[in-house]
Amino acid sequence: MSVTRSEVAKAYEKLQTQAKKKVESLKEKPLVTVGTATCGRASGALEIFNLFQEEIKKNGLDVNVMEVGCMGHCYAEPLVTIYKPGFPSLCYGSVDEGKAQRLINDYLINDDPCFEFAMAALEPNDFFPTFADYPRGVYEYKIVMELCGLINPEDIDHYIAHDGYAALVKVLNMDPDDVIEEIKNSKLRGRGGAGFPTGIKWELCRKAPGSPKYVICNADEGDPGAFMDRALLESNPHQMLEGLIIAAYAVGASQGYIYVRAEYPLAVTRLQTALDQARSKGLLGDSILGSDFSFDVKIFQGSGAFVCGEETALIASIEGKPGIPSHRPPYPATQGLHGKPTLINNVKTLSYVPHIIRKGAEWFKSIGTPESPGTAVFALAGKVKNTGLAEVPMGTTIRDLIFYVGDGIRDEKKFKAVQIGGPSGGCLPESALDLPIDFDSLQEAGAMMGSGGLVVLDEDDCMVEIARFFLDFTQKESCGKCTFCRLGTKQMLEILTDITKGKGNPEDIDLLWELAEDVKAGSLCGLGKTAPNPVLTTIRYFRDEYEAHVNEGRCPALMCKDLIMYYIIPEKCSKLCDVCIGSCPTEAIYTRPDMLKAIDQEKCVKCNSCLVACPPQYKAVIKISPPRPVEEGEMKQDE
């Protein structure tokens, strides 16, 4: 080596000293941070950010305002944190203009921290509970999300001040084989879905003949219900980048790519900023930190084809071709981009790497389960109260995740199922709630970790319809190369559609099962191999719902439009109110001679507007399945 170990370390020390000074000086005066990841922006975070800036200027206050990423509490966006010397650092959720004004007047100008609408404190104190004091805090264990929402993702110094790139420095003084050994020892498994051991993949790529070699970060995140890769890139892009640089060093690559969806414009911008800043600090490009290792990274935008998340399709896409998967082997690790050895890892996988290098494989293995060590990042969506992101140790049960971290089901409804792992995953019922989640346990239950999307479903969700939604997705996204995937999913979709329309036959359920097995066996890539999972799991766990559709023309969840009708219960309807009439787009609701309202079933398009419009004190509009004539008085005692 042309440089001594101390030179690289010295170069880094200098960077870190500057960075720490800058970051510490920020908190010498009050600091307001606003979460402006896209989840925050969608809820108006930029407006709140601007408001703070303007008001602070107008009032001549000596206060810093800064953008940060997403802490995972997406249900409480826009999220504001205020650090004021002498006070605990406090987070405030769902901050609108009114709350922002109060924080400025009462807290920034005066000294009242507005405890009444604070969410939690960041560190233990005598006045206010921290996030760890909530039930959620017992289960959360943040590694890759630790800095998300706390640092400025557009300023590399924030990452460096928190030991960012220290792992890279350590690695530059190590033999690449030892780096791979450490990752292998840690038993880190790929977070892109399949859980393949990362260290083994790195070793394959390192040993593969050919040059140049490439490394690619897979940020195509296309699973419906998943948004953690977006949040990580928007909140702490350097963490992934450091992992990518380390991976390149370990396998001997000189060029890297980040393949990110065009649907994530903010992630693209923040990544671009991250790359520029890393280059200007000498952490990326020629002779990184003065060492003899050179490596650079390009961003490539995906273009709305789910199958491009599959590694061979992704490579085809970077080469400018339609993203159609090709047969493996050869695996990309030996023959990938432009026919050269190529390492592909997911955003989360790479984000764990700096932590493992800094804290060691043993530390990583002390978290999670023996076969799936570390944490998992889940995206909570659907009918759960606290939607957002949660990082918990592998092996946490689904129950803890939904009922403690997610705070249970919305609107006092009953839990029915959880769809886990997106279109390649499955729907698990109540009886699976105590399943510890890791790669292997989910596979056994017929689901998949996938990317970690968790969609919570309640009593109002029809399991046949859910299976149909997911199959409709994979059917459309099938690239069409394999006959089974192309035609088998199409036929399955037709059967499912028939069932939801009440046109199913009793033998359809078994036929679906057979087709599903065929598609699984006859497809080349993971898309087709896993596409039937939502159908298989819903039949396995909710066969009674399928049977009700087929045998009785009844949708137990009252969701399938063709199998329900709307009805106004005369005993509950108020003669004085007619909001339902106004809400109906087709004039299907009329006033009876006795002033009660009723629905003309011929005209009704089942748009649900009247049910939403009927005031809660009456709740007179209900759904009935199967549609049938109703005798007056029949529904009296029904709730």
Ligand X SMILES: Cc1cc2nc3c(=O)[nH]c(=O)nc-3n(C[C@H](O)[C@H](O)[C@H](O)COP(=O)(O)O)c2cc1C
Binding-site ranges for another protein (CB under 8 A): 38-39, 41-43, 74-75, 77, 221-227, 230, 261-265, 300-306, 317-323, 338, 379-383, 387-388, 419, 453, 455, 457, 461, 466, 469-470, 473, 476-477, 479, 585, 607-609
Closest distance to ligand X from the beta carbon of 533 (Å): 12
Q: Give the contact letters, 119-158, x = binds to ligand X (CB under 6 A), - = no.
A: ----------------------------------------
Closest CA to 218 of 345, 133, 117: 345
**What single-letter DSSP state applies at residue 71?**
-
Q: Considering only residues 205-224, where is the footprint of ligand FES by CB under 6 A?
A: 224
Using CB under 6 A as the binding rule, whether residue 307 contacts ligand X is answered as: yes
Closest distance to ligand FES from the beta carbon of 225 (Å): 6
Closest distance to ligand FES from the beta carbon of 41 (Å): 14
**Judged by CB, which is closer to ligand X: 346, or 538?**
346
518 makes contact, choosing from ligand FES, ligand X, another protein, none, with CB < 5 to 8 Å by partner type, with none
**Judged by CB, which is closer to ligand X: 354, or 526?**
526
Residues 6 or more apart whose CB falls under 8 angstroms from that of 388 comprise 39, 70, 72, 73, 74, 75, 76, 379, 380
Taking residue 142's Cβ as centre, other Cβ atoms within 10 Å add up to 16
3-class DSSP assignment, residue 158: helix
Q: Considering only residues 295-334, where is the footprint of ligand FES by CB under 6 A?
A: none
Amino acid code (one letter) for 552:
E
Closest distance to ligand FES from the beta carbon of 224 (Å): 4
Q: Are 246 and 167 in contact (CB under 8 A)?
A: yes
Q: How far is CA 86 from CA 82, 89, 132, 532, in A?
A: 12, 9, 21, 57
- 3-state helix, strand, coil split of the chain in percent (to 5) is 45, 15, 40
Interface residue with ligand X among 168, 467, 525, 622 (CB under 6 A) is 525
Q: How far is CA 527 from CA 394, 457, 474, 533, in A?
A: 25, 23, 7, 10
Interface residue with ligand X among 104, 119, 231, 344 (CB under 6 A) is 344
**Judged by CB, which is closer to ligand FES: 295, or 473?**
473
Using CB under 6 A as the binding rule, whether residue 196 contacts ligand X is answered as: yes
**Judged by CB, which is closer to another protein: 207, or 486?**
486
| Residue labelled with tokens 């040993």 | 207
**Judged by CB, which is closer to another protein: 221, or 310?**
221
How far, in Å, CA of 215 to CA of 230, rounded? Answer: 19
Mutual orientation of helices 533-547 and 489-500 as an angle, nearest 10°? 30
Q: How far is CA 99 from CA 16, 66, 80, 592, in A?
A: 37, 18, 10, 48
329 makes contact, choosing from ligand FES, ligand X, another protein, none, with CB < 5 to 8 Å by partner type, with none
Q: How far is CA 115 from CA 27, 82, 105, 111, 118, in A?
A: 21, 12, 14, 11, 5
Q: Are 185 and 361 in contact (CB under 8 A)?
A: yes
Closest distance to another protein from the beta carbon of 555 (Å): 14
Count, in order, helices (H) and strands (E) of the chain.
25, 18
Closest distance to ligand FES from the beta carbon of 519 (Å): 23
311 makes contact, choosing from ligand X, ligand FES, another protein, none, with CB < 5 to 8 Å by partner type, with ligand X
| The pair of three-digit structure tokens given for residue 133, joined into one six-digit string | 């004091």
- The CA R_g of the chain, rounded to the nearest whole Å, is 27
Interface residue with ligand X among 16, 186, 346, 500 (CB under 6 A) is 346
**Judged by CB, which is closer to ligand FES: 210, or 224?**
224
Bridge partners of 66?
33
- Total residues binding ligand FES (CB under 6 A): 2
Using CB under 6 A as the binding rule, whether residue 266 contacts ligand FES is answered as: no
Interface residue with ligand X among 40, 113, 149, 192 (CB under 6 A) is 192
Q: Considering only residues 215-274, where is the footprint of ligand X by CB under 6 A?
A: 218, 220-222
152 makes contact, choosing from ligand FES, another protein, ligand X, none, with CB < 5 to 8 Å by partner type, with none
**Judged by CB, which is closer to ligand X: 522, or 626?**
522
Window of 38-46, 118-126, 410-418, 522-530 that interacts with ligand X by CB under 6 A: 522-530
Q: Give the contact letters, 221-240, x = binds to ligand FES (CB under 6 A), - = no.
A: ---xx---------------
How far, in Å, CA of 504 to CA of 552, rounded? Answer: 10
Count of all residues that appear for the chain in the document: 639
Closest CA to 186 of 311, 341, 349: 349
How far, in Å, CA of 406 to CA of 396, rounded? Answer: 13
Using CB under 6 A as the binding rule, whether residue 436 contacts ligand FES is answered as: no
**Judged by CB, which is closer to ligand FES: 77, or 157?**
77
469 makes contact, choosing from ligand FES, another protein, ligand X, none, with CB < 5 to 8 Å by partner type, with another protein
What single string gives the DSSP state of each residue in 30-63? -EEEEE-SHHHHHTTHHHHHHHHHHHHHHTT---
Q: How far is CA 581 from CA 135, 421, 572, in A?
A: 45, 42, 16
Amino acid code (one letter) for 458:
D
Q: Considering only residues 205-224, where is the footprint of ligand X by CB under 6 A?
A: 218, 220-222
The contact set with ligand FES (CB under 6 A) reads 224-225
The contact set with ligand X (CB under 6 A) reads 190-194, 196, 198, 218, 220-222, 307, 309-311, 344-346, 349, 525-527
